[in-house]
Amino acid sequence: MSSKQSQYDKLVSKRKEFTFCDGLVNPSKIENGKYDSANHLGPWSAWHGDLEAKILVVGQDWGDENYYLNNKGYDTDSNPTSKNLVELFSMLDIDIGLPNNPNLNTKLFFTNAILGMKDGGMSSSVNAKWVNEGVNEFLAQLITILQPNIIITLGTNPYKAVAEVYDLKKSMSLKELVGQEPVKLNDGKLLFPMFHCGGLGLRNRSLRLQKEDWSKVKKYVK
């Protein structure tokens, strides 16, 4: 077993045994872990979880407990975020497939800043403590294990999570960040802060404009 795989396995085990902040439940505790048997850091990594990933995508959270239960721990192909992400990656000439039929010939890893399942609906509010917990316990270590070339964040909280890892300024708005050149991180990685491509994110920035944002990433993809 490679060192990278063994480190990842330990991180997954840690997540499955972890007690999250109040307001979050570990997928391993939902129906006694019935839908959490695979070796994934979180349910989004079931779509893309390549340990040799060149691109790491960080979302905010996967959703709430009801969505997790109703879909047995997997995203639906019809989920707006899933469908729009397919279109956005097409701007990089990358076919990611759909959650239930992924194109595994890609070097991608999908994760969330918050790995516990919240309650109260898919769009319910997020506690800053949840984000900080996710960074300190999981995200920073995941980045160290993967060593991707590019990190793409979807929304404000995912940007703040990566900013926490790299001690970056958190006060800039997404609109300001998206309009700039990629952030060159202190370890040589490139960070592309993007708007979220789900329903709420599209209210802040249309899919057309998000496609323009993503098209700027293409020249950096090797």
How much is the pTM? 0.95
Where is average pLDDT lowest: 5-9, 92-96, 175-179, 186-190? Answer: 175-179
For residue 51, what pLDDT is reported?
97
Mean pLDDT over 208-217 rounds to: 96
pLDDT at res. 165: 97
pLDDT (tens digit per residue) in 80-90: 999 999 999 99
- pLDDT for residue 25: 94
199 vs 156 pLDDT, higher one? 156
- Rounded Cα distance between 120 and 190, Å, is 35
Q: Which domains does the chain have, with CATH numbers?
A: 3-220 (3.40.470.10)
What pLDDT, on the 0 to 100 scale, is given for residue 38? 93
**pLDDT tens across 111-124, in order?**
999 999 998 654 55
pLDDT for residue 214 is more than 90 = yes
Give the phi and the psi of residue 124 in degrees, each rounded to 5.
-65, 155
pLDDT computed for residue 139 by the predictor: 98
Using alpha carbons, list the distances in angstroms from residue 41 to 23, 88, 122, 158.
19, 24, 20, 16
pLDDT, position 124 = 59
Query: pLDDT, tens digit, for every residue of 3-62?
Result: 999 999 999 999 999 999 999 999 999 999 999 999 999 999 999 999 999 999 999 999
pLDDT in tens, 120-140: 654 557 889 999 999 999 999
Q: Are 137 and 156 in contact (CB under 8 A)?
A: no
Helices (H), the chain: 3-17, 65-70, 80-90, 128-134, 140-146, 156-166, 174-178, 199-204, 207-215
pLDDT in tens, 146-185: 999 999 999 999 999 999 999 998 888 899 999 889 999 9
Instruction: Tell me what pLDDT residue 39 has.
Output: 96
Amino acid residing at 113 = A
pLDDT, mean of residues 192-204 = 91
Sign of the CA dihedral with 115 first, then 116, 120, and 126 last:
negative
Q: Is pLDDT at 189 greater than 70 in this prediction?
A: yes
Alpha carbons 44 and 109: distance in angstroms, whole number? 9
